[in-house]
Structure 1
Amino acid sequence: MTLLVTAASGHLGRLVLDSLLDRGVDPDTIRAGARQPESLAAYSERGVQAVPLDYGVPASVTAAVDGADRVLLISGSEVGQRVEQHARVIDAAAAAGVQQLVYTSAPQATTSPLVLAPEHKATEEHLAASGVPATVLRNNWYTENYADDLEVAREHGVLVTSAGDGRVPSASRADFAEGAAVVLTTDGHVGQVYELAGDVAWDFATLAQAMSEVLGREVALQQLSPEERLAQLQSVGLDAGTAGFVVALEGNIRDGILDHADGTLSRLIGRPTTPLVDGLRALTP
């Protein structure tokens, strides 16, 4: 059986490769697709097949998917282009007779007002219409999303947000990667939609406390209004579009859109998800 991991050179993709190898999967059966397959040399040396795969180059998608039995479609990073890019992989999988396509989506993608949801919703709809046997992994927040905030806290002793009392059930990216590896290597997941999240939903006061523990210094929480947050982000160099996107995400969190954790991820991987403090500590030098 050949397992294809797309976007394999990214943060999540590399962790999926690690998890597959840790689970004892034969490296010869793992195909790792990347825009620059040479960036996966360390995996190639272990026997993994590194192949060209660029979502924007249809021929590379077709070639990479051909002959794969199970495909992990890791969602692209180019907002605004992802529906078309994902559809190329899905259509190639349909044409190749792939037995299972696993897609990394967003929390409650088909019903959520989350600013990130629309492209994932459209992808899920295309996947359903394609007829390809599928599993959808709706990944909640990665603890690593707060790496930049941790560095700001290290330097200035402050965590700034407009998320109010919103709660985030984050887990480490490695937890989500392990979940994907389990779904790729065990049976019974076709047709399932998994809402994956950390075991504990924390608020931003808790995040500030966790940062204090990890950094060994007091980190104060500074709550701003959306308008104040937008101005603050632009004052530190973010362009208006990016700043607005961050404020919209924090508004989603403030509205409780991410606050749902039912233990699905920990049951899938057979252990508790990585605690917030441990996830942050892994980000420190």
Structure 2
Amino acid sequence: MPGARRRNPTTIAVTGATGQLGRLTIEKLKTLLPAGEIVALARSPEKAELGVETRAFDYDRPETLAPALAGVARLVLISSSEVGKREAQHRAVIAAAKAAGVGQIVYTSLLHADRSPLSLADEHVATEAALAESGIPHVILRNGWYAENYTGAVPAALQHGALIGAAGAGRISGAARADYADAAAIVAADGSHAGKTYELAGDDAWTLADLAAEVSRQSGKDIPYRNLSEADHAAALVAAGLPEGLAAAIAGWDVGASQGALFEDGRQLSALIGRPTTPLADVVRAAL
């Protein structure tokens, strides 16, 4: 239109772009912004195939990070998948963002990170502190559990005739991974959320017994929930082929769930994304 003023383009970059959450975040961003305003950051950019510009971005090579952030106005920092290395990796990214002049960081943290009993919390708390120290305007998205964290156990439950865990009757406010990705994309594209911390979780909480009942309903098989001690759950996971350290961590997270660590009823996630979060039945259907 003659005389119309085009808005200034804003480049938004997403770390971990080839990961499950990163891919979904970029797909949502592509519905909100022109693809030319989105940058995917990935350790192996040749694997990306996301339909946007992709730049090499390796957390463990800090000297390469700032150049990859050139021209980026807002950065979605998706937490690293390498538990135990996260704090150092995230600090390297934050330092690079400051050097590159990034105007805002959106960080995917952990639900109630500042008071969570989960072993995952410490590195998220440290990253939140690093963001505060950096002086870069930022948004904290404290993500609850992905429902897929539990529905990933559905095939084994069907094979063995029971869903096992150590979460007792703990209520889990899980949401689909896509729900959290939509929130990250919406907040990054909007740009007006700096200084805010959101506790993000599903609208409806459920227990592992509820999950087992839903699997039973949809599969037509009787799949009960069998609650184990933390030690027995870890041992069962090791027997199923998981490394001891990971098995112990998963069992510990279940115990945290039994203590309310994964429950949140503020419905901030559905408010951000403008729709109800994905029902458990839909996530189970996808898993089946």
Across the two proteins, how many residue pairs are aligned to each other?
Answer: 279
Q: Give the secondary structure class of the aligned counterpart of 1:176.
A: helix
Structure 2 stretches lacking a partner, 5+ long: 1-9
The residue matched to 1:282 in structure 2 has which SS? helix
Q: 1:14 aligns with which of 23, 46, 57?
A: 23
- Alpha-carbon deviations, 1:183-209, whole Å to 9, x = none? 011142000000000001111111101
Are positions 1:101 and 2:105 aligned together? Answer: yes
Which residue does the alignment assign to 2:3?
A: none
Are the counterparts in 1 of residues 173 and 201 from structure 2 also a CA contact under 8 Å? yes
Match of 1:27 in 2: 35
Q: Distance in 1 between matches of 2:58 and 2:68?
A: 9
CA RMSD across the alignment = 1.3
Aligned: 1:240 with 2:244: yes
Q: How does 1:2-151 map to 2 (within 5 A)?
A: 2-23=11-32, 25-41=33-49, 43-44=50-51, 48-151=52-155
- 1:103 positional shift: 0.4
| Structure-2 residue corresponding to 1:276 | 280
Task: Summarize the alignment of residues 173-192 of structure 1 with structure 2, pairs less than 5 Å apart.
Answer: 173-192=177-196
Of residues 142-151 and 273-282 in structure 1, the stretch that sits farther from structure 2 once superposed is: 142-151
Q: TM-score scaled to structure 2, two decimals?
A: 0.93
Change (3 A) 1:244 1:101: same
1:154 CA drift (Å)? 2.2
Distance 1:52 1:225, change over 3 A: same
Alignment match, 2:209: 205
Does the Cα contact within 8 Å between 2:171 and 2:257 map onto a contact in 1? Answer: yes
One-letter amino acid of the structure 2 residue matched with residue 135 of structure 1: V
Deviates more, 1:51-60 or 1:26-35: 51-60
Displaced runs of 4 or more, over 3 A = none
CA distances 1:140-194 after superposition (whole Å, capped 9, x unpaired): 0001112331111222221001111111000000000000011011142000000
Report the AA paired with residue 10 of structure 1.
Answer: G
What's the counterpart of residue 6 of structure 2? none
Corresponding residue number in structure 1 for 2:161? 157
Contact 2:163/2:226 (CA < 8 Å) preserved in 1? Answer: yes
1:171 corresponds to which of 161, 175, 190: 175
- Percent of pairs with identical residues: 45
Give the letter aligned to residue 155 of structure 2. Answer: E
- Equivalent residues of 2:174, 2:262 under 8 A apart: no
Say which is worse superposed, 226-235 or 91-100, in terms of deviation.
226-235
SS in 1 for 2:242: coil
Counterpart CA distance in 2 for 1:90 and 1:276 is 35
Indicate the residue corresponding to 1:226 in structure 2.
230
Q: TM-score under structure 1 normalisation?
A: 0.94
Distance in 2 between residues matched to 1:200 and 1:142, nearest whole Å: 13
* Ranges in structure 1 where 5+ consecutive residues have no aligned partner: none
